[in-house]
Structure 1
Amino acid sequence: MTGNINSLLFIPDISGFTEFVNETDLNHSYHIVAVLLELLIDANTLDMTVSEVEGDAILFYRYGSVPTVEEILQQARLMFVRFHEHLMKYEQHRICSCGACRTAHRLKLKMIAHAGNIRHLTIKQHHKIYGPDVILLHRLLKNDVPSDEYLLLTEALVQQQEEVAAPDWVKWEQNVATYPKLGAVPHRYTLLDPLYAGLQKPAPPEPAFRSATPMMADIYIHSPPQELYELLSNLEYRLSWQQGLKDLQYNKTRLNRLGTEHVCVLEVGKLSFETVTVQVEADEQVYGEKLRRSFIFKNQVNYFFLRQEGAGTRLRMEIHYEKIKWPFGWLEGVLRKKMSEVQQKVLADLKTVAESMLPVPA
């Protein structure tokens, strides 16, 4: 345990998600926020230490050293830009239309900085800060700033240094918040909206290959499209319906989106796939995977098209590939017949697994 030392306290806080109750929404919202929190930690340029990750916020501190307001402004700008450029890219590359994925681009970021005395407690390898100023920092998350995106600095921090000219995007507003037992807390804030103008928009993804004569098969599955889409696209479920796999290798900390790669481990080797998409009708959903290196067909892409049909889904699987010159003319027909058998097996297995996951009627 250490005594009171004047230090920087800094909290970036994410807001904007509603209270989800659907399992898919909840799971995806956790993944989305976790990636954003990692991004904010990686954007730390002030040599701050993470004390705690608290839900959708991170408690940073810099022990015994308070940076200048100019440095804090630079830090806030960097975090804001990386946060929103990531969300812009995610919006373009997402494949899921659940509530969490569909509204992720609306997430907001606010940041609060304070300078005060903190105590530092270490229990084995775990570090924790505490004290009245830590409590004050958390109380400041509840304030009357008329925006969801801002940087707030307490006057206790600002008054420790000389005033300097701020960048053009900064427009300070003076304010005072009053809290029980803590009293009046003078502070200033600036809205972060002007920073949107400097964000770099990501390049739109290119649609994947489609042939004029794909191999097609379809099946009716008594499962809602959104639930079936989750079964198809969530790689956590792949081993439950794709037969013949010994293992599936992929990044388990990230949601599947355009460009995501996974490796199917088979008895006789490995196949690497990349998630892709194409344009579909308004009443359809599509999930696609491109085989990164095919030993049979050139530029092979497998698509699953989902359309609501009654209480269930009409699922159509299409296998697209570029025609090549075969040494024997009959060989393509033999391979197509074999692939058609695989196609029918995949659809049948998906139907079995999807319908077994339906809730039992009361």
Structure 2
Amino acid sequence: MGKSLLFLPDISGFTEFVQTTEVEHSQHVISELLEVLIAANTEELQLAEVEGDALFFYKENDVPSLERLLALSEHIFTAFYSHLKLLEKNRICPCSACSSAPKLQLKIIAHCGELQFLTVQNNRKPFGSEVIEAHRLMKNSVDSDNYVLFSKELANTIGLSGNYQSKLYKFEEGTDIYDGKRLDYLFSVIDNNNLKLRSFLTANKVVFNKPPSFILEQEFPVSAAELLETLTNYGYRSKWKEGVDEIIFNVNEVTRLGSEHVCVVNEKHLDFVVITKEVKPGQLVYGEMTKSPVPLDALYQFYIITPLSADRCKLVLEMYLEAKSPLKKLAIFLIVKAVFKKNVAKGIDTLFELLSSKNAVSETMYVK
């Protein structure tokens, strides 16, 4: 039996992040990041388990070369921090989970040895002393939360020396005692400035040289942040959006600039993308547009939220209906605008009732 690789990317700061931020959005952020780490697996490693904030990969009877392991590690760090930059730049949510996500870091622990396996409910998983050692190495004394660590066993197997240096890696020797047993390792703190982060599209602020087709206003008995969360959480849409049969979206993604969702109305699919526009300081804004509404060429809607107090805010909805042909413009003037305004107004009224009743229930529970 040959040696196998054990490889564990671990998100640093996970416990504090989850405990001190909004639960739902923190779950979404971590879920996205874990998906990014899984997708960055270029060595066809097997995923044994998702361990909360870490992934437990292995490669049976095969240990990739030094060059391949260093390339894999760099690829994973690059993917991770590229996604954090995306979350930071395209963020629209002001909650502490979304605002503090860019502070998360990553460490990678790698080990090798002969593996044993057990099967539980048809799931085959590694176990034994090497698995224990790999997990022990996750609790090391490296003075950083952003590094790659190779056990001495793995370093000897792939020919990694303690003086290895490159533009990204500067390995040092380390050692710790676990249950009376000494475990040696080599580690390199990662300087993110040496990573070539991937570029991504950022949504430009939309500017109009004309007034909205119509405007609706409504005060809500909730905080500005809660109203924004309700508007941007597509799972709530069918509860208040008038005439919507279904919303198709990525349930594990925090809504941000560039996020997409599909609104199904009378079996017709409207493809929306999240956009933004300039608003006054202190205001929150959520915008979306679609180029698939009939008979229009484009529809833009912006929900602009102004905090009035800790538990009260004002919503201004601006709707822009666009058409190029004279016939479509005439249809907007005579019929379409009135129909849209009526349906949107109903939706806002339903949203007000939904949040008012939710707020009343919360207050009753608190009083009791």
Answer yes or no: same fold by TM over 0.5: yes
| Identical-pair percentage | 30
Paired with 1:282 and 1:145, the residues of 2 have a C-alpha distance of: 43
Unmatched segments (≥5 aa) in structure 1: none
**Residues 1:176 and 1:295: Cα distance change in structure 2 (over 3 Å):** same
1:31 aligns with 2:2: no
* Deviation (angstroms), 1:151: 0.5
* Deviation (angstroms), 1:95: 2.1
Alignment counterpart, residue 200 of structure 1, candidates 178, 186, 198: 198
Within 5 A, what are the aligned runs for 1:1-16?
6-16=3-13
* Deviation (angstroms), 1:168: 2.8
* Paired position in structure 1 for 2:363: 360
* Deviation (angstroms), 1:261: 2.2
State the one-letter code of the partner of 2:315: L
Q: Secondary structure at the match of 1:265?
A: strand
Paired with 2:285 and 2:144, the residues of 1 have a C-alpha distance of: 37
User: When the two structures are superposed, what TM-score results if normalisation uses the length of structure 1?
Assistant: 0.91
1:64 aligns with 2:61: yes
Could you report, residue by residue, the CA deviation over 1:23-55 in whole angstroms, capped at 9, with x for unpaired residues?
x82111112211221221222122321111100
* Paired position in structure 2 for 1:133: 130
Decide whether the 8 Å contact of 2:118 with 2:124 is kept in 1.
yes
* Paired position in structure 2 for 1:312: 312
Could you report, residue by residue, the CA deviation over 1:29-88 in whole angstroms, capped at 9, with x for unpaired residues?
112211221221222122321111100101111112222222211110000001111111
* Deviation (angstroms), 1:143: 1.5
**Residues 1:279 and 1:131: Cα distance change in structure 2 (over 3 Å):** same
State the one-letter code of the partner of 2:103: R
* Paired position in structure 2 for 1:265: 264
Paired with 1:162 and 1:257, the residues of 2 have a C-alpha distance of: 44
**Residues 1:339 and 1:163: Cα distance change in structure 2 (over 3 Å):** closer
* Paired position in structure 1 for 2:226: 227
Paired with 2:172 and 2:331, the residues of 1 have a C-alpha distance of: 77
State the one-letter code of the partner of 2:85: M
Paired with 2:105 and 2:178, the residues of 1 have a C-alpha distance of: 24
Within 5 A, what are the aligned runs for 1:128-277?
128-163=125-160, 166-181=165-180, 183-194=181-192, 196-214=194-212, 215-267=214-266, 269-277=268-276
Decide whether the 8 Å contact of 1:92 with 1:205 is kept in 2.
no
**Residues 1:203 and 1:344: Cα distance change in structure 2 (over 3 Å):** closer
Alignment counterpart, residue 87 of structure 1, candidates 84, 88, 92: 84
**Residues 1:196 and 1:347: Cα distance change in structure 2 (over 3 Å):** farther
* Paired position in structure 2 for 1:351: 352
1:339 aligns with 2:340: yes
Q: Please identify, of 104-113 and 338-347, the stretch whose mean Cα deviation from structure 2 is larger.
A: 338-347
User: When the two structures are superposed, what TM-score results if normalisation uses the length of structure 2?
Assistant: 0.89
* Deviation (angstroms), 1:211: 4.8
**Residues 1:344 and 1:70: Cα distance change in structure 2 (over 3 Å):** same
Decide whether the 8 Å contact of 2:170 with 2:188 is kept in 1.
yes
Q: Please identify, of 117-126 and 216-225, the stretch whose mean Cα deviation from structure 2 is larger.
A: 117-126
Alignment counterpart, residue 49 of structure 1, candidates 12, 36, 46: 46
Paired with 1:194 and 1:285, the residues of 2 have a C-alpha distance of: 31
**Quick check: which one's helix share is greater?**
2
* Paired position in structure 2 for 1:75: 72
State the one-letter code of the partner of 1:185: L
* Deviation (angstroms), 1:354: 1.1
Q: Secondary structure at the match of 2:278?
A: coil
**Residues 1:239 and 1:194: Cα distance change in structure 2 (over 3 Å):** closer
* Deviation (angstroms), 1:297: 3.7
* Deviation (angstroms), 1:195: 5.2
Paired with 1:211 and 1:351, the residues of 2 have a C-alpha distance of: 31
State the one-letter code of the partner of 2:33: L
Q: Secondary structure at the match of 2:344?
A: helix
**Residues 1:210 and 1:63: Cα distance change in structure 2 (over 3 Å):** same
* Deviation (angstroms), 1:260: 2.2
Could you report, residue by residue, the CA deviation over 1:283-325 in whole angstroms, capped at 9, with x for unpaired residues?
1001111022232444320110111113311011110234645
**Residues 1:304 and 1:245: Cα distance change in structure 2 (over 3 Å):** same
Unmatched segments (≥5 aa) in structure 2: none
Paired with 2:172 and 2:225, the residues of 1 have a C-alpha distance of: 46
* Deviation (angstroms), 1:255: 2.6
Count of aligned pairs: 357
Paired with 2:138 and 2:160, the residues of 1 have a C-alpha distance of: 25
Q: Secondary structure at the match of 1:159?
A: helix
Q: Secondary structure at the match of 2:186?
A: strand
Paired with 1:189 and 1:316, the residues of 2 have a C-alpha distance of: 54
* Deviation (angstroms), 1:203: 4.2
* Deviation (angstroms), 1:201: 4.1
Could you report, residue by residue, the CA deviation over 1:144-183 in whole angstroms, capped at 9, with x for unpaired residues?
21111100111111122435765332111111111114x1
**Residues 1:163 and 1:233: Cα distance change in structure 2 (over 3 Å):** closer
Paired with 1:176 and 1:235, the residues of 2 have a C-alpha distance of: 49
State the one-letter code of the partner of 1:317: L
Paired with 1:152 and 1:61, the residues of 2 have a C-alpha distance of: 15
Paired with 2:267 and 2:112, the residues of 1 have a C-alpha distance of: 61
**Residues 1:6 and 1:89: Cα distance change in structure 2 (over 3 Å):** same
* Deviation (angstroms), 1:223: 0.8
